[in-house]
Structure 1
Amino acid sequence: MFWNKENREDTKSFISGFVCGLLLMGAVVFGVFAYTHSYLLTAMKSDGLTVKQALQLVKKADAIVRTLDSLYLGEYDTEALLDGAYEGMAEAVGDPYTRYYTQEQYEKFQVSTTGTYGGLGVTIVKNDATGRIRVVSVYEGGPSEAAGVQQGDEFMKVEGEDVTGLTTDELAAKLKGPIDTAVTITFYRPATDSEVEIEITRKKIEVPTVEHEMLEDGVGYIAISSFDEITPNQFDAALEELRGQGLRGLILDLRDNLGGRVDAVEKIADALLPEGIITYTVDKNGEKITYNSDAEHSLGLPLTVLVNENSASASEILAGAIQDHGVGTLVGTRTYGKGLVQRTVPFQDDTALKVTMAKYYTPNGNYIHGVGIEPDIVIDLPTGVSYQSLASHQEDIQFLTAYEALQTMLD
């Protein structure tokens, strides 16, 4: 074949087009890669993966998925696989309080820390005899009470779907939803041996975290089960009601309270303490943040505080501040000993990472992690008896001890 001028021009045009095509394809590939893996472009920043580590991560993850696709006998959920990888990264830190939340887990976590959700206003428990879940109590003024749900009713269907055999958590997930949306439930009503179908409109439900009562001689009792977003308002309402009944002294029960939000315990501490430090935190860079109470909301009354081995975190912040300021007597057993603070960082896909980011100290500078707080009066429950199993105050030797200690302050 002889190459003439026309052949050379065609060849030149072909090569030029081929090169342009390669460049265009490369640009597209790079653009897609940069868009879907944008973190690679920022990986060289401090406190993150290097470009090499990021590439290795993508390459290894892809190799694992390809191997599973070609060899794994069963089926798997790719999203669950990725969530497992993220959970593994958080777990590999080696800190029991640092964890990754999937979308579902993060939604439940938000409910647990805010204390509010769109629900029906019932407490439920599994009936082992029937395999169904029954209503233990109906919240006064709640949507279920308004719709006619009764204590003892057993869930049969939710929106026509049989829910027999579900766990309480699985059923609760079906019952919760956006506020002001309706759900139709079929109950079995043992009282009349009949089935009833009830439509209930979900409303904002506040989980009770504070219980209170007025005892004899002007002694008030307040028990806090957790420190959620709504807890300070519930505590203020309880304290105000007790004051209206002639409160002279207070027993504060923090037993089995595993903690919660620092901002919630800060507000409650401000109502109990004189002006001064509630707690302070120190992060990895040595930055110190101090939380203070003012003199305006000081309780100014005799105070005893019940604690046990399950009083942790925010409970210990409050108990430690009361003890250090000398405004109350701690009664019970040594507390759990969690002196770490976590921060929850949400991501754009509605997942989140909870990270241990600081240590906290009592006003006197005590770091109680792994140590706990020793009560002023140490008294344990009898062997085999737990706080939750107690039926009344009269069976509770720790409560009776706190009551007697308070009486000596009132006399």
Structure 2
Amino acid sequence: MDIKTFGLLAATALNLLQPLPVVADDAPPKSGNPVFDRAVELVVDNFHDASALPRFGATVIREIGSEPLNAASSEARVDKAIDRVLASLQASHTGRFEADTIAYFELADIFRFAIRNEMRRLFPPEGQASYPGIGMIAEPLTGALFVSDVYDGSPAARAGILTGDEILSVDGAPYHEIASFRDKVGRTIEIRLRRKASAEPIAVQVAVERLRPLRTFEKAIEASISVTERKGKRIGYVRLWTLSAPDGLDIVAREMADGRLKDVDGIIVDLRGRWGGGPSDAAELFVGDTPTFRLIPRNGEATLANVRWQRPVVGIIDSGARSGLELFAYALKVNGIPLVGSRTAGALLAGRAYLLPDDSLLEVAVSDAVIGDDVRLEGIGVEPDIPVAFTLPYAAGRDPQRDAAVQEMQRILAGG
């Protein structure tokens, strides 16, 4: 999994020139705006660190006092107010997500049990989160939009879109994560890209699909698996986009036990994911001491009961390794497995999702996370053993972090 913050309070225009009431730290005043007030209430009731609430409440009071906030306030005003008060908590796993973003749908699927009573209403008729898209994430940098992630096996990947491509337009209009593809499922759209600075744009035709987030991640994990041969050694690779996908780790385990990764000499585990989540012991797949074993009934069809990789491993990390993926990275590091790339996100808390009155999602950090007796990664992260920088704009699919991981694995397999 791996990752994005809230607010509280109120005053009307008639009250702005009057002293604001003194309110208890745990009960900020109401603004009259139902979305803002509910976000504040959920933070006060559920945020894991009570010592942060006075700062949170003070920020809410300042925010409401700076400009009228009430039931008639514009969406833009409410959005900014919520963002600023949430930011005052200075915590990961705390943010608001709206339905015009891919993150909204991915988190709705990840937190589907937390909002299970509303899933059919939100995603009729089956109640399964899905969105129209092509399997691509974009990041704004220096006034432009660049492709930061292309999910393996996705329509974007099949069309040849590369990490680092500048997005210029979709069907002649500005790019929007959801709106650009709405009502276009089953159709082919044209994306205009720039692969090199100042180069002429190129046009790419991409098929729009209805994507179910966790299933998309499972497919991406499976499609990422590859094997290359270097100097007589077979090096496997897999990218863990998230640990939240129900079958994600099982896909990797099956490939290591009986599939494409079975006979490789070493594996590169790419933790540059999208979301964390997943079991806290996920790294046991690569660092556990228990042996691999199968259950074989009378019909002879074996079932994998436990898989453990005992050959060399190299990990790749960056700020996409967050939450459960960050814990995974830490487990690799303390077990002597080299990590290549850049520092992880420093985002290791436990979050829970709530629906706000406008059906936006509010994620609140509800629990601290401590490794062993006193190790915390929140705000700190995991540092790589082999630092390798990555520059996104116009990368043209080049991946120096993965290249460095392959070099490190070659060194290990050569006995260096």
TM range (shorter): 0.5 to 0.7
User: Shift in Å at residue 394 of structure 1?
Assistant: 11
| Mapped contact 1:87–1:101 kept (Cα < 8 A) | no
| Mapped contact 2:253–2:307 kept (Cα < 8 A) | no
Question: Which one-letter code corresponds to 2:228 in the other structure?
Answer: L
Alignment of 1:320-359 (within 5 A): 320-324=330-334, 326=335, 329-332=337-340, 335-336=343-344, 337-347=346-356, 349-359=358-368
User: Shift in Å at residue 318 of structure 1?
Assistant: 0.5
| Mapped contact 2:130–2:211 kept (Cα < 8 A) | yes
Q: What SS does the aligned partner of 1:164 have?
A: coil
Choose between structure 1 and 2: higher helix proportion.
1
2:283 corresponds to 1:269: yes
User: Shift in Å at residue 317 of structure 1?
Assistant: 0.5
How many angstroms apart in 2 are the aligned matches of 1:212 and 1:228?
18
How many angstroms apart in 1 are the aligned matches of 2:77 and 2:401?
52
The match for 2:95 is: 99
User: Shift in Å at residue 226 of structure 1?
Assistant: 4.4
| Mapped contact 2:94–2:364 kept (Cα < 8 A) | yes
Q: Judging changes above 3 Å, is the alpha-carbon distance between structure 1 residues 271 and 248 closer, same or farther for their aligned structure 2 residues?
A: same
Q: What SS does the aligned partner of 1:214 have?
A: strand
Q: Judging changes above 3 Å, is the alpha-carbon distance between structure 1 residues 204 and 365 closer, same or farther for their aligned structure 2 residues?
A: same
The match for 1:13 is: none
The match for 2:377 is: 368
Gaps of 5+ in 2: 1-33, 47-52, 111-128, 193-204, 291-303
Q: What SS does the aligned partner of 2:275 have?
A: coil
Q: Judging changes above 3 Å, is the alpha-carbon distance between structure 1 residues 247 and 363 closer, same or farther for their aligned structure 2 residues?
A: farther
The match for 1:242 is: 260
User: Shift in Å at residue 297 of structure 1?
Assistant: 2.6
How many angstroms apart in 2 are the aligned matches of 1:358 and 1:260?
17
Question: Which one-letter code corresponds to 1:340 in the other structure?
Answer: L
How many angstroms apart in 1 are the aligned matches of 2:315 and 2:206?
44
Q: Judging changes above 3 Å, is the alpha-carbon distance between structure 1 residues 113 and 352 closer, same or farther for their aligned structure 2 residues?
A: closer
How many angstroms apart in 2 are the aligned matches of 1:307 and 1:138?
17
| Mapped contact 1:235–1:268 kept (Cα < 8 A) | no
User: Shift in Å at residue 201 of structure 1?
Assistant: 7.6
Match of 2:403 among 373, 393, 396: 396
Choose between structure 1 and 2: higher strand proportion.
1
The match for 1:72 is: none
User: Shift in Å at residue 400 of structure 1?
Assistant: 0.7
Provide Cα deviations, 1:328-363, integer angstroms capped at 9, x if missing partner. Answer: 512336633333332222235422211122232335
Alignment of 1:50-61 (within 5 A): none
2:83 corresponds to 1:87: yes
The match for 1:220 is: 236
Question: Which one-letter code corresponds to 1:402 in the other structure?
Answer: M
Identity %: 14
User: Structure 1 stretch 313-322 or stretch 86-95: which is displaced more?
Assistant: 86-95
Q: What SS does the aligned partner of 1:100 have?
A: strand
Q: What SS does the aligned partner of 2:387 have?
A: coil
Question: Which one-letter code corresponds to 2:403 in the other structure?
Answer: D
| Mapped contact 1:258–1:311 kept (Cα < 8 A) | yes
Q: Judging changes above 3 Å, is the alpha-carbon distance between structure 1 residues 363 and 119 closer, same or farther for their aligned structure 2 residues?
A: same
The match for 1:291 is: none
Q: What SS does the aligned partner of 1:369 have?
A: coil
Alignment of 1:29-178 (within 5 A): 47=45, 64=68, 78-95=74-91, 97-105=93-101, 108-111=103-106, 114=109, 117-119=130-132, 121=134, 163-166=171-174, 168=175, 170=176, 172-176=178-182
| Mapped contact 2:238–2:268 kept (Cα < 8 A) | yes
| Mapped contact 2:354–2:362 kept (Cα < 8 A) | yes
User: Shift in Å at residue 238 of structure 1?
Assistant: 5.0
Q: What SS does the aligned partner of 1:345 have?
A: strand
Question: Which one-letter code corresponds to 1:104 in the other structure?
Answer: D
Q: Judging changes above 3 Å, is the alpha-carbon distance between structure 1 residues 238 and 80 closer, same or farther for their aligned structure 2 residues?
A: farther
Question: Which one-letter code corresponds to 1:243 in the other structure?
Answer: L
Provide Cα deviations, 1:282-323, integer angstroms capped at 9, x if missing partner. Answer: xxxxxxxxxxxx982322333222335664433321122234
Question: Which one-letter code corresponds to 1:386 in the other structure?
Answer: F
How many angstroms apart in 1 are the aligned matches of 2:378 and 2:160?
46
How many angstroms apart in 1 are the aligned matches of 2:156 and 2:318?
36
Q: Judging changes above 3 Å, is the alpha-carbon distance between structure 1 residues 391 and 366 closer, same or farther for their aligned structure 2 residues?
A: same
How many angstroms apart in 2 are the aligned matches of 1:261 and 1:99?
15
How many angstroms apart in 2 are the aligned matches of 1:65 and 1:364?
44
How many angstroms apart in 2 are the aligned matches of 1:394 and 1:91?
31
| Mapped contact 2:316–2:401 kept (Cα < 8 A) | no
How many angstroms apart in 2 are the aligned matches of 1:177 and 1:249?
45
Aligned length: 299
How many angstroms apart in 2 are the aligned matches of 1:199 and 1:335?
33
User: Shift in Å at residue 262 of structure 1?
Assistant: 1.8
How many angstroms apart in 2 are the aligned matches of 1:394 and 1:97?
26
Q: Judging changes above 3 Å, is the alpha-carbon distance between structure 1 residues 204 and 307 closer, same or farther for their aligned structure 2 residues?
A: closer
| Mapped contact 1:342–1:358 kept (Cα < 8 A) | yes
Q: What SS does the aligned partner of 1:361 have?
A: coil
User: Shift in Å at residue 138 of structure 1?
Assistant: 12
Greater relative CO, 1 or 2 (CA 8 Å, sep 6+): 2
How many angstroms apart in 2 are the aligned matches of 1:270 and 1:395?
23
How many angstroms apart in 2 are the aligned matches of 1:367 and 1:344?
22
Length-normalised TM-score, structure 1: 0.52
Provide Cα deviations, 1:123-175, integer angstroms capped at 9, x if missing partner. Answer: 6999xxxx9x99xx999796999xxx9999xx9999xxxx5241x2x264231
Q: Judging changes above 3 Å, is the alpha-carbon distance between structure 1 residues 82 and 303 closer, same or farther for their aligned structure 2 residues?
A: closer
Question: Which one-letter code corresponds to 2:132 in the other structure?
Answer: G
User: Shift in Å at residue 364 of structure 1?
Assistant: 7.2
| Mapped contact 1:119–1:203 kept (Cα < 8 A) | yes
